[in-house]
Amino acid sequence: MSEGPRFGIEEEYFITDLASRVMVGQPCRGAIQACRDALGEHFAFEMFQGQIEVASPIFTTLGQATDYLAGAREAVSRSLQPYGLSTISVGSHPLADWRTQMPTDKEHFQQIFRNYGHVAHRSVLSGLHVHVEVTAPVDRVQVMNEVLPWTPLLLALSCSSPFWDGADSGFMSFRQTLCDEWPRMGIPPLFAGQHDYDTHIALLMRTGIIKRPSECWWALRPCARFPTLELRMTDACPRLADALTLASLYRLLIAYALEQKLPGASYTPTSRILLEENRWRAKRSGLQGAFLIEGHEQTFSIAQWLEHADQVMGSTAERMQMHDIFDQVREMIAAGTSADRQRKIFRQGLNDRLPTPLALAQVVDHLLQET
């Protein structure tokens, strides 16, 4: 898969105590330093001390991404082992207590906690962020508008955050529900193009609402630092293969948009209304959702939506030498999401008469193994 735009992937990990299975509120400095040494320049702090991020180098092929991220996950796990710790890559940690999580001692993060209070303190969440290159003179926002209606499909496939605050949330991606507590997160407003977007960002900056463009955390956004469109809607994936499949599908969406004569021309206020509805259905029901496709009166299953995507973008996939991408997604659907697997293990634990914390600990064991 060498044809197509360059890309990068950011994964966020929860540091987990192997004895108690809980998310660590304040890891020792030695453990964090070991992670930094393992990842080098690709290590990044996150909002909470018990959470770290790996920001990948730039990739041109899926093989490069596979090798790098598999090595990064293994290196982090190996570096934490002497401390009785490991990591899980998941949208929300089943045994995390947000009340005990310590903010990272960096001014940028401290300012966020001052500005957003409990909204920030409750945001113990991990996402899969994928950057795909869109260079000038192409209008990134018009490309974004072409891709946006497909993003709930990616969310539904990624769902991995059914548990929150020690209980089943009732959502397949409760992470996305918590994201809605923030301003400038979720679906971006309808922008006509890059100029319209830049004008809006400039207004927010002039009025002091934001200090930097990166404080617009929309689920899909033009990156402020790189010439990319950044996908932020998807939950972190325990299985690396799932993360890579989602990154590939998103890269295909961008490549398809770049082939269009007028990307985003069909994205209207009605499109955005359907997008909001599909996002709700994805975060609530995951693969079991019934989705809307503009121009059709009936709802579509996730499998039917994927077949529609194959019909629309199959020729682009062939040109990019992504011959098996849709088969890979079909396999993901057949296996269920991480949220499906977590709930199955949790229910089995309860059926075995385990108390809720021990049933959740079994879920964490499963996530440790998958990660």
- Please give the Cα distance from 165 to 272 (Å, whole number): 32
Vertex 112 angle, CA 110 and 113, to 5°: 65
Per-residue pLDDT of 349-360, as tens digits, reads 999 999 999 999
Q: What pLDDT, on the 0 to 100 scale, is given for residue 1?
A: 43
Provide DSSP, 322-333.
-TTHHHHHHHHH
Q: What pLDDT is attached to residue 2?
A: 47
3 pLDDT higher than 80: no
Q: At what angle do helices 240-259 and 325-335 cross, to 10 degrees?
A: 140
Count other C-beta atoms under 10 Å from residue 226's C-beta.
13
**What does the pLDDT read at residue 88?**
98
Q: Candidates 3.40.50.150, 3.30.590.20, 3.40.50.720, 3.20.20.10; correct CATH number of 7-370?
A: 3.30.590.20
Q: At what angle do helices 325-335 and 151-158 cross, to 10 degrees?
A: 50
Mean pLDDT of 308-312: 97
Average pLDDT over every residue of 293-315: 97
Cβ 74 vs Cβ 67: under 8 Å? no
Cα Rg for the chain, rounded, in angstroms? 20
Mean pLDDT confidence for 217-231: 96
Percent of the chain residues past pLDDT 90, beyond the cut: 98
Give the predicted TM-score (pTM) of the model.
Answer: 0.96
- At residue 136, the pLDDT reads 87
pLDDT in tens, 5-46: 999 999 999 999 999 999 999 999 999 999 999 999 999 999
Sequence spans of domains, the chain: 7-370
Which residues 6+ apart lie within 8 Å of 311 measured at CB?
Answer: none
Residue 275: partners with Cβ closer than 8 Å, 6 or more residues away: 148, 149, 151, 152, 187
3-state secondary structure of 264: coil
For the stretch 266-302, pLDDT in tens is 999 999 999 999 999 999 999 999 999 999 999 999 9
- For the chain, the average pLDDT equals 97
Three-state secondary structure call for residue 161 = strand
* Among candidate residues 32, 124, 46, 40, the one with its CA nearest the CA of residue 80: 32
Instruction: Please tell me the total number of residues recorded for the chain in this structure.
Output: 371
> What does the pLDDT look like over 95-133, one tens digit per residue?
999 999 999 999 999 999 999 999 999 999 999 999 999
